[in-house]
Structure 1
Amino acid sequence: MATPSHKGNPTNSTKRKKNHKNPEANFLYELNSCSKSKDLKAAISLYESAISNKTRLNQHHFNTLLYLCSTISTDPESKSLALTYGFRVFDHMMTLNIHPNEASITAIARLAAAKGDGDYAFEMIKKLGDYRVLPRLRTYEPALFCFCQKLEAEKAYEVEADINKMGLSLEEPQIAALLKLSAETGRGEGVYEYLQKLRRGVRWVSEETGKVLEDWFSREGSEVGFEGATYEVSFVKEAVLRNGGGWHGLGWIGKGKWVVRKGKVEPNGRCCCCGERLGCVDIDDVETEKFAQSVAGLAMEREVKANFREFQEWLEENADYEAIVDGANIGLYQQNFAEGGFSILQQLDAVIKEMYGRSGNKWPLIILHNKRVRALLENPSYRKLVEEWMNNGVLYTTPHGSNDDWYWLYAAVKLRCLLVTNDEMRDHIFELLGSSFFLKWKERHQQVRYTFPKGILKLQMPPSYSVVIQESEKGSWHVPIVCDGNEESARTWLCITRPGACEDLGKTASNIETCENGNGPCCKSEMSNTGDFEILPSDNRNQASQDFFQMSYAETPSITGKRKERSP
């Protein structure tokens, strides 16, 4: 007689597998189902049955229950039940001497915050150390947001201090909450501090954060600033340059009402609302030096120290470059075909001449391996050109066995100049850097890309301005709002200016056509404040850098001295 088959009955198979599980596993299985469906009442029933049946409960069981209670606690209809059972479950967990982990404390902190008890939420975080568990940013959020909502500023600042002490970094939601708290409690200097933190922490802001800024600058913001004291123009400019552009950090400049508008920014960086030109934001002097030291340290771990130190010393004496050229990357571009080779005339020399012209007749520095240079010198067709580079101080040859990536990267960082390469910097050597300012540096310096459509050089220069929050020399602010897609022309910016800033800096204001009256050249404004005022177009900040971005050639050539060339 044939044995009946169960293949066609998956339900029986599932039941059989479930019945073979132990009570603890069955409880967890059912509990997870309740958690997924957010069925708190069913989960509570399971929990009470487990207690009656003396099921052995573990940390995972309790965390699942706590998580469900904490997520349901935001629902007005189920809030009371979630809070009651949430704390009961946690007390039971502690009675059984089951140590909580970060997930446990985060859940109980959310429950405490849901009933408005930020103090209890913060106390629970402090107890994590007793269990040798480190908190995460999400662990602090309930206490921080609770204090912010209740306008308990000092307590919120204490939570922030603890976050910083743990080495965690605030993100936009936390910074925006603290900024709003400072605004609503009349702490103008606090608003400035968190606006700077927002500038450092995010590239652009959400619509919600933008609304917080818009509201504050349109009302209470008029009370901050200087009534009598002024800054020297040169002092503010020096601060902006020292910081890498885009901010000075000196505090509020000017006095009186702010004018808050929404508008676009032209491709050349000009704000359509106020006429000011946005800057190219670089990493600051301290970050640059740290980055350069990091690159040098990693290079000397992997290169012959004497060779790399010699390069560092040479660069100290020959620092007048505005661009570094990754010679191998350009010479070998799209040469992976049968007749391909190292394209020195059609590609590398074309790039060098183009960069020479764009920079007002200043030679870039070519980094090229000595093996490649020797081969070029042995070729009569190329010898004269290579010797010309050497005589003009254009060429630095890296030694045998070296990785020239370290050399061109260090030079570009140390000299704070442009880097011409299509290298995406995704290799392991760049992963070693791993610093938060590496991406900012890469955007500002590495994006001189090139193509040769139909054999004609086409350079893609870095953007003429940075899409980040910017504080100008005059004290105005420009804040990019998040947008869909990659088209920067579609992005809306908050333009925040005050007429008094121009006066405080000793400037002579001049009328320009802006979107204030609907006649702007490229956008339509949404006014948040109105009034009679004059706006001065900005000076050309970071002049040396900005000049380099111009597409036209300099008419008056400059003479550059010869630099000592390292022998190949």
Structure 2
Amino acid sequence: MLKHLLQCLSPKPTITMLLKPTFNLSPYILKTLITTTKFRSLKPLNHRIITQFPFSTATDDGGSILTTTHYSSVTNQQYPHLQMSGKAEKRARRESPSGKLLYLLGRCSKDNDTNEALRLYEDALNDNVPLNVEHYNKLLYLCSASDSELCLKRGFEIYNDMDNSNVVPNEATFTTMARLAANKEDPEMAFDLVKRMKERCGISPRLRSYVPALSGFCKKGLADKAYEVDCYMVENGVVAEEAELGMLLRVSVEGKRVDKVYEMLHRLRSSVRQVSEDTAALIEDWFRCDIAESVGAVKWDVGKVKEAVVKGGGGWHGVGWLGNGKWQVTRTEMDESGVCKTCGEKLVSVDIDPLETDNFASSLSTLACQRETRADFLQFQEWLQKFGPFDAVVDGANLAHIKSCQFDFNQLKNAVNLTRRLSPSKRLPLVILHSGRVKSLKNKPTLQQWRESGALYVTPQGSNDDWYWLYAAISSKCLLVTNDEMRDHLFALLGTSFFPRWKEKHQVRLSVTREGLKFHMPPPYSNVIQESEHGSWHIPTVTGDDFETRRQWVCANRIKH
């Protein structure tokens, strides 16, 4: 068949295309057909890469055909008359040697099979299979995840091969190499890689990029170098999370860097709020250590401290350690009014700037318009301007499912009536329901009453009603009645700065008791690290939620003599 095809070819082949993908043909025949005049293109130019496949250069030696196999990239830019459909193009790329290798490396990564990945890599080099940054990243990741000295060595060799092949690295490449450097116990190299990523390659490092260097310096007790990494993160707009702040706190405690311990506690207050058990234990260790006893001002300007508390919105002053002497450190709870059951200190509710709320509502609107059908959400905002603001917003679907998996409209109706009683004006709350929940004829009278009162908004087909009830509550600056924990990917988009504070002060939850539905109002104090005007500290943990079980706090105050 191949010989017959070659005899039919023009002596001067021109660029052509196959009108339909012919994956049942061998790669050589496919290549041959592509470069003949037998098939003419009838489709416009497309510059996307089609595929990579082996083809043979044929020579006629006394009637026999001699071929030499190598790999080539075929593009529509190289062959102006060649075009494949998007689906065919993806299939061709997937079935190319490079595509098959990428798939196999992915399997190795999933199975954590570094040895097999390295074998595949050697075979690919021997067969001259083209490699791209994705291939190298998978190989480097596997090497970084291994404890073997050989894998560590091979990781650096593969990175050098990548550099010599002029393959451009990306953020994942540098991050993985930083992990390899950390495994080599060389945090300085890990930090240099991050700086190279930013300063030479113009790639913005992510938080994960800094962790190998930061962790490496902290493990070695090199506090100043750890602070240098932290400073570089701040300069580049990367916000440390609890794990990173915990590393910095530990190296500060171990190094007796009292000012840095104070700084890290306040950074935990502003960005983490409730701390994990590991962080809580570390904080307890600090307050119990000898150095903590001797740190703090004996006399201070009371007026200055009060002024700082007011300026910060309450709950902290940031002036520095106050008082001296041994600390009493205990685990405790707050009563319903926010009074510590151990020391009697009353916690405060930290203010939220109204301007901050308005800015967040604007950002939420922009995000919702990107995620939802823009026209639908803009129509909702117009409706809200006409009928709002409200004293409360009800997440209809959530409250109708409190007791069971079945949608219980009567339960929702009861919750709406109870919420109405919370309103100073006894106005109905805004009920948000999806279009699929308003079709029952049995519920029509109540739904019609809510509609006529301007208290019902039905979200359109295909929408996510979370965007609607959340925006309504934030823009109205009112209570939000829902048991939704608001922890999924949608709420993760909202960040950890403003939203947790707003949620804490505005979310009303319900539970079912023998007497009926019971409201759980927002606490009259903020569940956040608080520093009193007298120098005592209260640190909330993630243990407990004040809904089913009382939240656990670390109470640290000076022992009075």
TM-score range, shorter chain: 0.5 to 0.7
Which amino acid counterpart does residue 133 of structure 1 have in structure 2? Answer: I
Aligned to 2:153: 84
SS in 2 for 1:279: coil
Q: What is the aligned partner in structure 1 of residue 273 from structure 2?
A: 203
Q: Do the aligned residues in 1 keep the contact of 2:528 with 2:539 (CA within 8 Å)? A: yes
Is structure 2 residue 137 aligned with structure 1 residue 40? Answer: no
Q: Do the aligned residues in 1 keep the contact of 2:190 with 2:212 (CA within 8 Å)?
A: yes
- Deviation digits for residues 27-86 of structure 1 (CA, Å, limit 9, x no counterpart): 3344333333323333333323332333322212211110001111xx3xx1x1122111
Q: Is the 8 A contact 1:282 1:444 kept in 2?
A: no
Mapping of residues 265-344 of structure 1, within 5 Å: 265-283=334-352, 285=353, 288-292=354-358, 295=361, 325-326=391-392
For 1:464, the equivalent position in structure 2 comes to 524
Q: CA deviation at 1:213?
A: 1.3
Alignment partner, residue 329 of structure 2: 260
Residues 365 and 201 of structure 1, relative CA distance in 2, 3 Å threshold: farther
Is contact 1:118–1:147 with CA below 8 Å preserved after alignment?
Answer: yes
**Structure 1 equivalent of residue 257 of structure 2:** 187
Change in 2 beyond 3 A, CA 1:407/1:208: closer
Structure 2 residue 319 is the aligned partner of structure 1 residue 250: yes
- Give the counterpart of 1:236 among 305, 312, 318: 305
Alpha-carbon distance in structure 2 between the residues aligned to 1:477 and 1:157:
24
Task: Tell me how far 1:410 sits from its aligned partner.
Answer: 5.4
- Shift in alpha-carbon separation, 1:281–1:440, aligned structure 2, 3 A: farther
The answer (yes or no) to whether the contact 2:505–2:523 under 8 Å persists in 1 is no
Contact 1:368 1:404 in 2 (8 A): no
Confirm or deny: 8 A CA contact 1:34 1:43 kept in the other structure: yes
Matched with 2:131 is 57
In the other structure, the counterpart of 2:292 is 221
The CA deviation at 1:110 is 0.5
Maintained 8 Å contact 2:313/2:350: yes
Contact kept? 1:265, 1:489, Cα under 8 Å: no
Structure 1 residue runs of 5 or longer lacking an equivalent are 1-16, 310-314, 316-323, 353-362, 370-396, 413-417, 500-532, 535-568
Give the Cα–Cα distance (whole angstroms) in 2 for the partners of residues 22 and 347 of structure 1. Answer: 64
Which residue number corresponds to residue 183 of structure 2?
114
Cα 1:490–1:466, aligned 2, differ >3 Å: closer, same or farther? same
Determine whether 1:170 maps to 2:240. Answer: yes
Asked whether the 8 Å contact 1:258–1:496 carries over to 2, the reply is: yes
- Alignment partner, residue 215 of structure 2: 145
Measure how far apart 1:163 and its partner are: 1.5
- Paired position in structure 1 for 2:556: 496
Distance 2:191 2:361 in 1: 40
Structure 1 letter corresponding to 2:159: F
The answer to whether residue 196 in structure 2 is matched with residue 127 in structure 1 is: yes
> Post-superposition shift, 1:218?
1.1
Q: Given residue 555 of structure 2, which amino acid in structure 1 is its aligned partner?
A: C
Cα deviation code 1:201-250 (max 9, x no counterpart):
113222221222122221122232114x3131x54344334433322222
**How do 1:353-432 and structure 2 match up within 5 A?**
412=477, 419=479
Q: Secondary structure in 2 aligned to 1:131?
A: coil
CA shift, 1:445, in A, is: 3.8
The alpha-carbon deviation at position 488 of structure 1 amounts to 5.9
Paired letter, 2:118: I
- 2:144 maps to 1:70: yes
1:153-182 Cα shifts (integer Å, max 9, x gaps): 222222112222222211001001111112
TM-score by structure 1 length? 0.60
| Correspondent of 2:543 among 471, 475, 483 | 483
Tell me if the contact between 1:144 and 1:160 (Cα under 8 Å) persists in the aligned partners: yes
**Deviations, residues 508-533 of structure 1 (Å, cap 9, x unaligned):** xxxxxxxxxxxxxxxxxxxxxxxxx3
CA distance in 1, matches of 2:241, 2:218: 15
Measured in 2, the distance between the counterparts of 1:365 and 1:127 equals: 62
Q: Distance in 1 between matches of 2:306 and 2:260?
A: 24
Return the alpha-carbon distance in structure 1 between the equivalents of residues 409 and 275 of structure 2: 50
Aligned length: 411
TM-aligned CA deviation for residue 265 of structure 1:
3.2
Instruction: Output the TM-score relative to the length of structure 2.
Output: 0.60
The SS at the match of 1:255 is coil
Higher Rg of the two aligned structures: 2
Q: Which runs of 5+ in 2 are unaligned?
A: 1-90, 367-376, 401-406, 431-453, 456-467
Change (3 A) 1:63 1:484: farther
Identity of aligned residues (%): 37
Distance 1:327 1:191, change over 3 A: closer
Q: Distance in 2 between matches of 1:298 and 1:290?
A: 12
Per the TM alignment, residue 91 of structure 1 is displaced from its structure 2 partner at its CA by 0.7
> Which structure's relative contact order is higher, taking Cα pairs within 8 Å and 6+ residues apart?
1
Alignment CA distance shift 1:237-1:458 (3 Å): farther
